[in-house]
Amino acid sequence: MAEWNSRIRSAEAAAPGRSSRGVVISDDWPGYSLDLFTYPQHYYGDLDYVLIPHGIIVDRIERLAKDIMQDIGYNDIVVLCVLKGGYKFCADLVEHIKNLSRNSEKFISMKVDFVRLKSYCNDQSLQDTQIIGGEDFAELTGKNVLIVEDIIGTGRTMRALLNNIEKYKPKMVKVASLLLKRTSQPDGYRPDYYGFEIPNLFVVGYALDYNEHFRDLNHICIINNHGKAKYRV
């Protein structure tokens, strides 16, 4: 238990007073053996280990929904889901927010919009983020916007998206990312909400892909070299 505590802890414990909090998974966290879980047979041999099992992901999102509701209050929001990787996080987060609001005095109205970005090829970040589809951001003027993203690495993609959106003068913009990667970048972007801070490793599963593969894997896992070679483009 003591060992577990030193490898997975809350960010509040890791850095007291920091505004955003999340689970911190340390660099020496060994993860879970794949043999302990079920996963699609077509990925046998392509993965190293399970970094975050599906059940823990969903439970953590329930708490994020509560934190977001507490901060935003009963204001109507536009959820802007960043595709493709954000779709599962967004679906589960919206579901939890809906349940929380259903069990309280007042229903909040929630619209869900989508924007599609591409910034990775194989396991490498592209120089320029491509916005390859999505909503007309003019609809966001005067609104409370919650951007929902799967993973933030350097933060370059998120900064580019925020710059774009802020031109349309939304009332408020908050960013929720399921994962926050510890990169070597000292001035990395930190979202308002995040589920897990993870080591600087390439992860797949729970809608996160490697060249469009592994989105159908429930757990967040580390891909191995065999998997990378098999699906390289």
Site stretch for Mg ion (CB under 5 A), options 42-50, 73-81, 121-129, 150-158: 150-158
Residue at 108: amino acid letter: I
Kindly state the smallest distance separating residue 181's Cβ from ligand HPA, in Å: 6
User: Does residue 120 bind ligand HPA (CB under 6 A)?
Assistant: yes
Nearest residue (CB) to Mg ion, 20 versus 157:
157
Relative to beta strand 193-198, strand 23-25 is parallel
Binding mask 109-128 for Mg ion (x = CB under 5 A): --------------------
Q: Which of residues 165-184 bind Mg ion (CB under 5 A)?
A: none
Residue 39 CA to its chain's centroid (Å): 21
- Residue whose CB is less far from ligand HPA, 103 or 225: 225
Is there binding between residue 180 and ligand HPA (CB under 6 A)? Answer: no
Give the pair of three-digit tokens for residue 222.
Answer: 């580390």
Helices of type H across 1-80: 2-7, 11-14, 54-72
Q: Which two tokens mark 15?
A: 């850095």
Question: Least Å distance between CB 86 and Mg ion?
Answer: 6
Contact between 87 and ligand HPA by CB under 6 A: the answer reads no
To Mg ion, the closest distance from the beta carbon of 208 in angstroms equals 7
| Binding segment toward ligand HPA, per CB under 6 A, in 101-109, 132-140, 168-176, 204-212 | 204-212
Residue 108 DSSP one-character state:
P
* CA 168 to chain centroid: 24
- Taken in order 47, 51, 54, 57, is the CA torsion positive or negative? negative
Told to check if 208 binds ligand HPA by CB under 6 A, we report yes
Does position 220 bind ligand HPA by CB under 6 A?
no
Letters for 131-170 (x = contact with ligand HPA by CB under 6 A, - = none) are: --------------------x-x-----------------
Nearest to 74 by CA among 44, 97, 107: 107
How far apart are the C-alpha atoms of 214 and 43, rounded to whole Å?
A: 8
Which residues have a Cβ under 8 Å from the Cβ of 214 and sit 6 or more positions away?
A: 43, 204, 205, 208, 221, 223, 227
Q: Quick one: which of 37, 168, 202, 211 contacts ligand HPA (CB under 6 A)?
A: 202
What's the gap between Cα 57 and its chain centre?
10
Question: Residue 92: which of ligand HPA, Mg ion, none does it interact with, CB under 5 to 8 A by kind?
Answer: none
Q: Which does 135 bind (CB under 5 to 8 A by kind): Mg ion, ligand HPA, none?
A: none
Contact 112, 97 (CB under 8 A): no
Residues that bind ligand HPA (CB under 6 A): 85, 120, 151, 153, 202-204, 208-209
